[in-house]
Structure 1
Amino acid sequence: MSEGPWEKLSQVAVKGAEYDSRERQPHPRCLERTRVALLDHIYGLSDKKEKNRLIWLHGTAGVGKSAVAFTVAERMRGLKMTEETKIETRLGGTFFFSRKHTKRRTTGYFFATLAYQLAINFPSVRSHVSKAILENPALLDPDKSLRHQMEALFLQPLRKLQFRLRGCSPLAFIVDALDECTPESLDPSTFEPLEEDKFNSEIVELISLLAQALRDPDLPVTHILVTSRSEAHIHEAM
């Protein structure tokens, strides 16, 4: 028996990129009564309903960006969209990049992974995600156009939620360590300038697409928190 679109998506989605995956243990998190001002600032932005936001948390390596990302994700997972819902939370999805893991060092699995998490959190969009894959199985190919993946696997499902989430608190997506998006064939310690431009362009394209997505007037209020090192090409793209 051939696999259905949902089963195929389940296989392609990168479970290790989820904020609480076993692959990421031990999970870095902010200790109680630490980073209070920073977390309160991010929570405040995440609660605003006026417009969609791309929130960038940046800094040098080792300052605790991933701990903040995990802590924010954990909080959003604990907040229900409405008092009536049993499973739908404010956490739409997470993708924690890592240059140590093949599928977490590329954008090729990014939107498929978010679509999978979104459909689990909001079962009502699962049929729409499955239909998109059934009509175009190539969407799950990591070499497929990132723009096409975003439209079919991310934007279209989110648009289906606009009406029923009207008046609700904003959705949140967490993207951690974006600077670790590095093509597998490249060793960050040895690549040449032209190779550096190649992997930088992948990051810049994703930032551009996320910013474009947040300008879509047909989405429910959505905020995306992105963490990365303070690198020039990321700063310019933001």
Structure 2
Amino acid sequence: LAYQLALQVPELSKRKVNGHISRAIEKDSAIINWSCCNQLQQLIIEPCCNLTQPVSFVIDGLDECTGHDIQLLQEVVQSISGVVSRKHLPISFFVASRPES
């Protein structure tokens, strides 16, 4: 999500914000092992705090997750809900899934 964010949002394509994401990774390369909540905070929330235009994330295909992916998915959704609900940010998430057949 952070990579796509940096590529797609013109305001975030500026060196300053991309630098924030790069610095977070350089500062602690083990960030990929951090909890979803901490990754979301450092790689998505922090860079978006000063946006002047809102940004939306669309996450689709949740019904295709199986096994361990389901546990990870639950953690991601809880992290998104928890972090975003605590702050007034110019960020929205649209999460979609088809009902089980």
Give TM class, smaller chain: 0.7 to 0.9
What residue is the counterpart of 1:181 in the other structure? 65
Query: Is there any run of 5+ residues in structure 1 with no aligned partner, and where?
Result: 1-113, 184-197, 232-238
Q: Could you say what secondary structure the match of 1:173 adopts?
A: strand
What residue is the counterpart of 1:130 in the other structure? 22
How far off is 1:116 after superposition? 0.9
What residue is the counterpart of 2:70 in the other structure? 200
- Work out whether residues 6 and 13 of structure 2, in 8 Å CA contact, stay in contact via their aligned partners in 1: yes
- Work out whether residues 179 and 203 of structure 1, in 8 Å CA contact, stay in contact via their aligned partners in 2: no
How far off is 1:216 after superposition? 3.4
The reply on whether 1:219 has 2:50 as its aligned counterpart is no
- Would you identify which runs of 4 or more consecutive aligned residues in structure 1 move more than 3 Å? none
What residue is the counterpart of 2:39 in the other structure? 149
Aligned residues: 95
- What does the per-residue CA deviation read over 1:118-147, in whole Å, with 9 as the maximum and x for residues that have no partner? 1122223101111111111111x3x43212
What residue is the counterpart of 1:228 in the other structure? 97
How far off is 1:174 after superposition? 0.6
**Identity among equivalent pairs (%):** 34
How far off is 1:199 after superposition? 4.3
C-alpha spacing 1:123/1:216, structure 2 compared with 1 (3 Å): farther
Which is greater in Rg? 1
- Work out whether residues 37 and 80 of structure 2, in 8 Å CA contact, stay in contact via their aligned partners in 1: no
Query: Is there any run of 5+ residues in structure 2 with no aligned partner, and where?
Result: none
Within 2, Cα distance between the matches of 1:214 and 1:145? 16
Within 1, Cα distance between the matches of 2:19 and 2:69? 34
CA RMSD of the aligned region, Å?
2.0
Q: Could you say what secondary structure the match of 2:86 adopts?
A: coil
Q: Could you say what secondary structure the match of 1:224 adopts?
A: strand
The normalised TM-score by structure 2 is 0.77
How far off is 1:157 after superposition? 0.9
How far off is 1:178 after superposition? 1.3
